[in-house]
Amino acid sequence: MPIKHFGVMSVFNLGFTLTVVMLGTMVLGILGGVLGTLLVLRRQALMGDALSHATLPGVMLAFMLFATRSLEVLLIGAFLSASVAYGLMLLIKRHTLLQWDAAMALMLAGFFGFGQWLLSIIQRQGTAAQAGLSRFIFGQAATMLREDVIRLTVVSAVMLIILIGLLKEFKTAVFDPDFFSSLGRSAPGIEWLLRGMTLVFIVLGIRLVGVVLISALLIAPVLTAQQWSVRFHRVLLLSAFIGGVSGLVGTYLSATRANVPTGPVIVFVLGLLFLISILVAPKEGLLRKSFEWHRLKRTLTLYAPLIHLYEQPEGTLRLEDVVRYEVQGYVLKDQDQWRLTAKGEAKVKAMKKVILDES
């Protein structure tokens, strides 16, 4: 049975079907975090966005041809449509001077516009069967069947197992494709596998998150994780965790409040986590950077005369600066002229290095 809207409830009193859906979106979010890490590091972050938008005309054409809302039929149409878009991108890249980003932008706009046009035609027909097709745009987990969610969870789990099992190969292909090829491995093969899994992920997720926002599950977890670490395995684990938590929380909020699409809620949670991360991350957070910048400004104000004396040895110092620097061991008097000590020179060089790093 489709999921019912339960209203506000305790997380310890969830219906079984809603629990299954939350588990499914959590696994999908984890898969998006892992897969998205590889895509972002391969500089193919927009691939998911282009292919997700390209699924919309396939869904509409499948409905128009077979007059059914069967999820399997509609997702097959989505898969074929996105495959055609990807094939066209390859042709454009191979036979024109356009770059990947231009080809992806062209497919994104063209296919999504075509899909919207088909949707408007279907809606003008006024048939009862077309009800709910617009939910593919933003997603709605509350209308999925339990069997659909279980199938989504199983396929996502299998893809996760494949990714983890081939993680070493994916990592080598991402960071050093020439070395990967020199080992006798097929770099194009691993590339095709990555793109194929991206396509399957998009087709799996569009009913839950929607064609407009499914790419956020690939990109946002990685960008959030990169605020906390730059090490590959840490980013991978953090991305998986962030994607899973966002899917879990977003689906709960969507399903327990009537008429709230799942996709926007999940993306809102992702956006909230990203904003928190860019503010409070220990190394790259804006609050830390702001604190470090103000501390640097105070240090520069305090030791500006010392820097001036380093750059102009014949310069003079004010009496209050002389007293402070002499006590700290940064200057000494040499024939009626104040000079930097070795400690003073080291202090200035350290500050100049900090200034260079900040700039």
pLDDT level of residue 347 (50, 70, 90 thresholds): confident
Span 256-283, average pLDDT: 86
Q: What is the C-alpha separation between 65 and 348, in angstroms, rounded?
A: 75
Residue 275 scores a pLDDT above 90: yes
pLDDT level of residue 220 (50, 70, 90 thresholds): very high
Residue that wins the pLDDT comparison between 111 and 44: 111
pLDDT at 22: 85
The string of pLDDT tens digits covering residues 86-138 is 899 889 888 888 887 888 888 888 999 999 899 888 888 766 456 567 777 77
User: What residues does each domain of the chain span?
Assistant: 16-280, 286-358
* Overall CATH class of domain 16-280: mainly alpha
Residue 281's contacts (CB-CB under 8 Å, 6 or more residues apart) are 227, 228, 288
Query: What is the average pLDDT score of the chain?
Result: 81
Q: What is the C-alpha separation between 76 and 132, in angstroms, rounded?
A: 17
Q: What is the C-alpha separation between 352 and 231, in angstroms, rounded?
A: 28
* Residue 337: strand pairing partners: 334
Q: Which residue, among 235, 199, 270, has the nearest Cα to 38 in the 3D structure?
A: 235
The string of pLDDT tens digits covering residues 119-129 is 888 888 766 45
Burial group, residue 220, by CB count within 10 angstroms (0-12, 13-18, 19+): buried
Span 153-179, average pLDDT: 85
Q: What's the farthest any 2 CA atoms get from each other in the chain?
A: 99
Q: By mean pLDDT, which of 105-114, 224-233, 327-336 is the weakest?
A: 327-336
> pLDDT exceeding 70 applies to what percent of the chain?
86
Burial group, residue 48, by CB count within 10 angstroms (0-12, 13-18, 19+): buried
Q: What is the C-alpha separation between 270 and 216, in angstroms, rounded?
A: 8
Q: What is the C-alpha separation between 167 and 193, in angstroms, rounded?
A: 12
Q: By mean pLDDT, which of 41-55, 211-225, 292-306 is the weakest?
A: 292-306
Query: What Å distances lie between residue 324 and 200, 229, 321, 330, 331, CA to CA?
Result: 67, 40, 5, 9, 9
